[in-house]
Structure 1
Amino acid sequence: ASVQQISTAQTGLNNRVNAQFSIKVAVTQSGVYALGGIGVGIQNQNGVLQSVVAVLADQFAVINAAGNGYVSPFAIQGGQVFMNDAFIRDGSIINAKIANGAITSAKIGVAEIDTLRIRGNAVTVPVSASSPGNVLGAGVGQWQNLVAVGVHMDEGGFITAQYSCYQGFGSGIRKYQFQMDINGLVIAEGGGDWADGFPNLTGSIGVGPGYFVITVKWWGENTGVGVRNHNLFAMGTKR
């Protein structure tokens, strides 16, 4: 086993100067040689002074006192760097492997994702409503609300809604009209004078953040026409 401490300050014949200080420990046992040390130096490299601090060790750690013990916030072992907690103001990583990450805000140009899990309503806000009730016509222009749903958008996007029902007629021709609106703004409508079957409406509109109510209205010429089994589906798409 040996311990060496060396310090030098030299000026060569070519006026190149250097200063060095090193501490080195070495042990040889059963043919195995182990070496560790710290070196501090300043050299003149082509007219440019450069300082170097180098550590030679199989394991390197910074140790802090914590309570009644010690912790190592930074360590190097086996060619790997271990940090308990790190703050990086601006970082560039060529390849990253993250087991569990919490990212507040990210800007990603191109992403390849095997499995993506997004919290509920983060991208889309789906809602639906249904009503089996039979509604009979009350006269031309006598609008009756059939079904409604509300969509809350915490940021701007698009709202798309689709409505369907069953409409039945008695004998003869009877006029009718459907209308779908969002907060009073009509986004889809349709009608005629005879349609014994399953009419539907589909509408879409761009919106800002806020709460939006989608309502479907209908009127029939008289009680000889009626609608039932109302289904309304709406989806807010934020991104």
Structure 2
Amino acid sequence: STAQTGLNNRVNAQFSIKVAVTQSGVYALGGIGVGIQNQNGVLQSVVAVLADQFAVINAAGNGYVSPFAIQGGQVFMNDAFIRDGSIINAKIANGAITSAKIGVAEIDTLRIRGNAVTVPVSASSPGNVLGAGVGQWQNLVAVGVQMDEGGFITAQYSCYQGFGSGIRKYQFQMDINGLVIAEGGGDWADGFPNLMGSIGVGPGFFVVTVKWWGENTGVGVKNHNLFAMGTKR
């Protein structure tokens, strides 16, 4: 340990421990240094460690544990409490987050416990479909809904239907995997028909399809919109 006073009235104090070994032409050095310097009237203390590996060891039971260690320029911590932190880039293998506010997130695979999430799907088609005869069903639009557990699927459909002169019959039908959940029809009406239905399902993939028939080419439908949503709890 040393203490120095220079001609410029600066006071420096330092203490150091070091070990060194040379083997096969390779020089290995390790040490600890503690110092205090007076720089322009400002005292600064420094503790420096020179080591390839650095660890803090605590006695635990019949052995020892290392709360954290430094190796190869990386810090390894067994457990940490950070009250307020800023992280530029993070790679987290397994994390438990109580509350999070995320502005923009890109997630490859998302699994949420309890499936407390609904993911709606939709489809639209502007195409004009003309009637082909009573009972001559034509598919208008369809969407698929994936359910990883039981729940409910709710679907809603709308379009524009137009008639020429005279009275013509028509019929709409909405089904899920072939099971009809909503239908309606009549014999005249320009306007915007609407179907809505809901059904309980188990896990699996379900196709919601809307089909229609018109008495003849004097009645047609267009601007089809179908919305479906699976609710999981």
Which TM bucket (shorter chain)? 0.5 to 0.7
Unaligned runs of at least 5 residues, structure 1: 1-6
Which of 69, 81, 86 is the equivalent residue of 1:92? Answer: 86
Deviates more, 1:110-119 or 1:12-21: 12-21
Deviates more, 1:115-124 or 1:77-86: 77-86
Instruction: Tell me, in whole angstroms, the C-alpha distance in 2 between the residues paired with 1:79 and 1:53.
Output: 17
Paired residue total: 233
Deviates more, 1:119-128 or 1:37-46: 37-46
Using structure 2 for the length normalisation, give the TM-score: 0.56
Q: CA 1:211–1:48 in 2, change beyond 3 Å: closer, same or farther?
A: farther
Deviation at 1:234, TM superposition (A): 0.3
Instruction: Tell me, in whole angstroms, the C-alpha distance in 1 between the residues paired with 2:125 and 2:103.
Output: 45
Deviation at 1:99, TM superposition (A): 16
Instruction: Tell me, in whole angstroms, the C-alpha distance in 1 between the residues paired with 2:171 and 2:129.
Output: 13
Deviates more, 1:124-133 or 1:67-76: 67-76
Q: How does 1:115-194 map to 2 (within 5 A)?
A: 123-194=117-188
Deviates more, 1:97-106 or 1:187-196: 97-106
Q: Deviations over 1:105-136 (max 9, x none)?
A: 99999999999997998611210000000000
Q: CA RMSD in A?
A: 10.1
Deviates more, 1:194-203 or 1:43-52: 43-52
Instruction: Tell me, in whole angstroms, the C-alpha distance in 2 between the residues paired with 1:81 and 1:27.
Output: 26
Deviation at 1:149, TM superposition (A): 0.3
Instruction: Tell me, in whole angstroms, the C-alpha distance in 2 between the residues paired with 1:107 and 1:189.
Output: 44
Deviation at 1:102, TM superposition (A): 1.9
Partner of 2:98: 104
* Matched-pair identity in %: 98
Q: CA 1:113–1:186 in 2, change beyond 3 Å: closer, same or farther?
A: closer
Instruction: Tell me, in whole angstroms, the C-alpha distance in 2 between the residues paired with 1:29 and 1:43.
Output: 35
Instruction: Tell me, in whole angstroms, the C-alpha distance in 2 between the residues paired with 1:90 and 1:157.
Output: 40
Q: CA 1:82–1:132 in 2, change beyond 3 Å: closer, same or farther?
A: closer
Deviates more, 1:190-199 or 1:37-46: 37-46
Q: CA 1:58–1:213 in 2, change beyond 3 Å: closer, same or farther?
A: closer
Deviation at 1:63, TM superposition (A): 1.8
Instruction: Tell me, in whole angstroms, the C-alpha distance in 1 between the residues paired with 2:117 and 2:162.
Output: 38
Q: CA 1:45–1:174 in 2, change beyond 3 Å: closer, same or farther?
A: same
Deviation at 1:232, TM superposition (A): 0.3
Deviates more, 1:210-219 or 1:81-90: 81-90
Using structure 1 for the length normalisation, give the TM-score: 0.55
Deviates more, 1:160-169 or 1:18-27: 18-27
Q: CA 1:45–1:153 in 2, change beyond 3 Å: closer, same or farther?
A: farther
Q: CA 1:143–1:42 in 2, change beyond 3 Å: closer, same or farther?
A: same
Q: CA 1:236–1:16 in 2, change beyond 3 Å: closer, same or farther?
A: same
